[in-house]
Structure 1
């Protein structure tokens, strides 16, 4: 995946999200009789611009695609002709200004609903929530969860898919206490209380790995089918056809056991026992460290296994098919769930329950956009929907300079009966600039640290 592909994917992702956000402000302003002067996608130097002869609105594309703006007629920003005063933004009733400002974030949430609705429409065959493996010495093993248990609820919330189950677990990030899991076993419903402490705070494991239960995974023999030319394994004498028997004395039952040990051992010397031509061969290999999008370093040997023909047992499969109305309900539900999760994460970050190193900036977003585009249109659309929810919720935060900050001023004006003083708004603008600038610098710093 080269840099041009990543940039193209990022533009394809962010461009529509920014355009529709600004379109929300633009269309509601026009419908409510406010005169729009400029509709811009991007900031900075203008690349392309044209003016509508009918409306006089200037449409433009600018050089920095990390945002956009809709400039409306406003007495605070310049002289306004007397006949145009009724069309000035600052002359509108607070409810109209609230509607115009709120339209941007809300249309992003509507877009997310539409995108999720599209994704929910096709019939999907996928794994059900039956546990395929219990990891020893984990919370799941401690409370005696078993392979074959079918998870039906997390903390009282019904979960029908592994995705929804994971979202419910991520909602507990940073917390200490117990996660309540309901599961069906042999026709009975059992409840397990899994102990957690600072859950997922370091982001080094997935929620399922940290709790200790995994979905069904087909048995893949621990046999090397392919070696990367510049990988650590081939340099230390590993060959195609080698069956990996043990690593550091621990028996490897299948390929997933190998992956788990290797990924957890970047830059650590591993003693690997392999079977080659009916003889046991001892190798010492140090996995190379590879940093992922969130900055976590995992070990890489440069080997591949051969899954062969995969057959999933019927008891682990389910087919999900929604009619259009059901898909729409599911889309609203998922958008609401993600919105709640984002707000919850922000609150926990402020309280120190989640580290600030979880903030991501444009570099990480671009890299994930590129990866999702490589994985197919469904993955890319899903990531676009997630980003649309994030954009909508973040813009509703009560921070001056953001839409949410303006909404706070207008609601105060509704209650007081007069606008917030320009001096207070100026102070708020400066505070908002410092906050947003600091967040952006921190996000960029985190991006660079993950490279």
Structure 2
């Protein structure tokens, strides 16, 4: 838009949010022809408040093409991506929050979208490999009940020359397990809202609520 390439919908959304009164020109390609589409944001009810929108809906699947990176490159990209995500979630300056991650429901939705492709089984296999690498990295975090926690605990017990107090260990592991389970339920709550039929119902309820509020004197 405005001679600026868009690599993800968030870039355009941020621009519109910062310039709600500015018209812009979208450079789009339709049926092999490139055309310019002038648009002007309009305030519409979104998530309980009025936000500027331009009346388009993104194709979340997009155009899928198959590439063939070597296994080392795939694992390296997965490791770096996972570490960057963990860093972004931990950073207070980042816009990436826990609710932006995906749990079992979100992962299942990704598999569903992948199998909609002509080469769905290949994409699903690729995603499974990447997912397992990500889980392996998370499993190595120094958190009790995870393998990383046991690895950290072993040298501590070796230096102390005696095992950690079992009562303390039980309390710590139980607490960490409760936190992990709570986290899974937390992100599942947001994953369910992203399901198409749930999102459609929520949008309908939001529109009805906004209409009632606008009619209230």
Do these two structures clear the TM 0.5 threshold for a shared fold by scoring above it? yes
Kept in 1, the 8 Å contact 2:103–2:188? The answer is yes
Greater RCO, CA 8 A, separation 6+: 1
Give the aligned partner of residue 380 of structure 1.
Answer: 124
Compared with structure 1, are the counterparts of its residues 204 and 424 closer, same or farther at alpha carbon in structure 2 (3 Å cutoff)? farther
Kindly report which structure 2 residues correspond to 1:195-206, keeping only aligned pairs within 5 A, or say none.
Answer: 204-205=9-10
Which is strand-richer, 1 or 2?
Answer: 1
Compared with structure 1, are the counterparts of its residues 447 and 419 closer, same or farther at alpha carbon in structure 2 (3 Å cutoff)? same
For the pair 1:413 / 2:188, whether they are aligned, the reply is: no
Provide structure 1 residue ranges, at least 5 long, that are not aligned to the other structure: 1-134, 142-165, 167-202, 211-247, 269-285, 294-319, 322-326
Give the count of matched residue pairs: 166
> What's the offset of the Cα at 1:413?
2.0
Cα distance in structure 2, aligned partners of 1:253 and 1:204: 14
For the pair 1:371 / 2:113, whether they are aligned, the reply is: yes
Q: Please point out which of 94, 101, 124 is paired with 1:359.
A: 101
Cα distance in structure 2, aligned partners of 1:333 and 1:438: 34
> What's the offset of the Cα at 1:267?
7.0
Kept in 2, the 8 Å contact 1:397–1:404? The answer is yes
Cα distance in structure 1, aligned partners of 2:36 and 2:126: 27
Q: What TM-score do you get using the length of structure 1 for normalisation? A: 0.31
Give the aligned partner of residue 433 of structure 1.
Answer: 177
Give the aligned partner of residue 82 of structure 2.
Answer: 342
For the pair 1:396 / 2:140, whether they are aligned, the reply is: yes
Cα distance in structure 2, aligned partners of 1:249 and 1:343: 36
Kept in 2, the 8 Å contact 1:335–1:389? The answer is yes
Cα distance in structure 2, aligned partners of 1:348 and 1:251: 30
Kindly report which structure 2 residues correspond to 1:87-166, keeping only aligned pairs within 5 A, or say none.
Answer: 135-136=1-2, 138=4
Compared with structure 1, are the counterparts of its residues 351 and 434 closer, same or farther at alpha carbon in structure 2 (3 Å cutoff)? farther
> What's the offset of the Cα at 1:137?
5.9
Kept in 2, the 8 Å contact 1:266–1:288? The answer is no
Kept in 2, the 8 Å contact 1:266–1:287? The answer is no
Which is helix-richer, 1 or 2?
Answer: 2
Compared with structure 1, are the counterparts of its residues 265 and 364 closer, same or farther at alpha carbon in structure 2 (3 Å cutoff)? farther
Kindly report which structure 2 residues correspond to 1:204-223, keeping only aligned pairs within 5 A, or say none.
Answer: 204-205=9-10
Cα distance in structure 2, aligned partners of 1:291 and 1:251: 16
Cα distance in structure 2, aligned partners of 1:252 and 1:333: 33
Cα distance in structure 1, aligned partners of 2:84 and 2:97: 14
Q: Please point out which of 158, 168, 172 is paired with 1:424.
A: 168
Cα distance in structure 2, aligned partners of 1:265 and 1:433: 46
Alpha-carbon displacement from aligned partner over 1:80-122 (angstroms, at most 9, x marks no partner): xxxxxxxxxxxxxxxxxxxxxxxxxxxxxxxxxxxxxxxxxxx
Cα distance in structure 2, aligned partners of 1:450 and 1:357: 11
Cα distance in structure 2, aligned partners of 1:401 and 1:438: 15
Provide structure 2 residue ranges, at least 5 long, that are not aligned to the other structure: 14-22, 46-53, 62-66, 196-217
Equivalent position SS for 1:205: helix
Compared with structure 1, are the counterparts of its residues 261 and 429 closer, same or farther at alpha carbon in structure 2 (3 Å cutoff)? farther
Compared with structure 1, are the counterparts of its residues 428 and 369 closer, same or farther at alpha carbon in structure 2 (3 Å cutoff)? same
Equivalent position SS for 2:138: helix
Cα distance in structure 1, aligned partners of 2:38 and 2:107: 29
Kept in 2, the 8 Å contact 1:400–1:431? The answer is no
Equivalent position SS for 1:254: strand
Kept in 2, the 8 Å contact 1:409–1:419? The answer is no
Q: Which structure has the bigger radius of gyration?
A: 1
